[in-house]
Amino acid sequence: MAGGLPIHIVLDDLRAALCAGSNAVLVAPPGAGKTTAVAPALLAEPWCTGEILLLSPRRLAARAAAERMAQLAGERVGETIGYATRLDSKRSARTRITVLTEGIFRSSPAFPPSCSTRSTNEASTAISALPWRSTRRPRCARTFA
């Protein structure tokens, strides 16, 4: 996919962490490739048999991320990689990665009823508050629920 991105340094660590357990926290600076490289890299894993939901804060960002990933995969949006926003959606039966806004996710069956807006915001704050390494290199850390 997107060769040469800083995130590629830790993709093997991320795969290993997710193979060992269902949770991982990936922290990397903007432009490292979190959005465009991680989800497509996980598709080939034997344990990744369902659909990957990738949350985006805005409709435009969701569409742009899906379009970029599809372009890197040599496909059109709506094939393996699609998106779902409040006013627009491009998905098919073949879609394995869906980039969606947080509002669409909250209203979907995938959103656990036990989660509240407050706990989602607290988790986002906790993740964004994690310390950076001095080199600002992406890192993968196993987390425990």
CA pair distance 40, 62, nearest whole angstrom? 15
pLDDT at 17 exceeding the cut of 90: no
Task: Give the right CATH number for 33-130 from 3.40.640.10, 3.40.50.2300, 3.20.20.70, 3.40.50.300.
Answer: 3.40.50.300
Instruction: Enter the pTM of the model.
Output: 0.72
Letter string b/e over residues 93-125, b meaning 16 or more CB atoms within 10 A of that residue's CB: eebbbbbbbbebbeeeeeeeeeeeeeeeeeeee
Q: Would you state the pLDDT for residue 65? A: 95
Q: What is the pLDDT of residue 60?
A: 93
What are the residues facing 27 on neighbouring strands? 139
Q: Where are the domains of the chain?
A: 33-130
User: What is the average pLDDT value for the chain, to the nearest integer?
Assistant: 77
